[in-house]
Amino acid sequence: MESAFIADSMLGRLARWLRIIGCDVEYFAAIEDEELVERAWESGRLLLTRDTLLVQRRRARDRCFFVAGDHFRDQLRQVVEAFAIDPFARFLTRCLECNTLLQEFEREGAEAMVPPHVFATQQQFRACPACGRIYWGGTHRERMVEELKEILGL
Ligand SMILES: [Zn+2]
């Protein structure tokens, strides 16, 4: 089964990279430990945390995955390996800002919403139905692919 996660506030960069590879990750920059654990229980999400005290809490114990590394690169490698995630199977299918699944977006509809040079050079657009952000391919995407390969040693 596909894992859904909720990341503690220390894991912002990890949460973003997990969204880049298409994982379902809730993240709040500011949230109380108590609420974090509650949300994990209510939503059936696994709590990714760097907090050794939180891991030891009775209610959190079965819902936690302890992230060992200090650096997001080590953290990403650890999570990808632990959950056997294929990093390219769902690459950039999720909104990096709000975690919603992206939808294909008619190219004509994008014209008024993206810079002219982007519209002229890109064929495929995706939009976030929740926050309205528009995504397209291009050099940014290629850079992310390269960095991901480097992080994961592929
Ligand atoms: Zn969004």
pLDDT in tens, 3-38: 899 999 999 999 999 999 999 999 999 999 999 999
Report the separation in Å between the CA atom of 58 and the middle of ligand 1, taken as the mean of its atom positions: 34
Report the separation in Å between the CA atom of 52 and the middle of ligand 1, taken as the mean of its atom positions: 31
**CA pair distance 15, 9, nearest whole angstrom:** 9
Tell me the whole-structure pTM to 2 decimals.
0.92
Residue 84 CB partners (closer than 8 Å, separation 6+): none
**CA pair distance 54, 35, nearest whole angstrom:** 12
Q: Is the pLDDT of residue 112 over 70?
A: yes
Report the separation in Å between the CA atom of 57 and the middle of ligand 1, taken as the mean of its atom positions: 32
Burial of 103 (0-12, 13-18, 19+ CB in 10 A): exposed
Report the separation in Å between the CA atom of 27 and the middle of ligand 1, taken as the mean of its atom positions: 13
- Name the residue with tokens 């509650």: 38
> Which pLDDT value is given to residue 86?
95
What residues does the ion ligand 1 have nearby, CB within 5 Å? 95, 97-98, 100, 128, 130-131, 133
Report the separation in Å between the CA atom of 56 and the middle of ligand 1, taken as the mean of its atom positions: 33
pLDDT digits (tens, 9 = 90+) for 45-103: 999 999 988 888 888 888 899 999 999 999 999 999 999 999 999 999 999 999 999 99
**CA pair distance 49, 78, nearest whole angstrom:** 12
Report the separation in Å between the CA atom of 102 and the middle of ligand 1, taken as the mean of its atom positions: 8
Report the separation in Å between the CA atom of 99 and the middle of ligand 1, taken as the mean of its atom positions: 6
Yes or no: say if 76 and 18 are a contact pair by the CB < 8 Å rule. Answer: yes
- φ and ψ of 75, to 5 deg: -65, -45
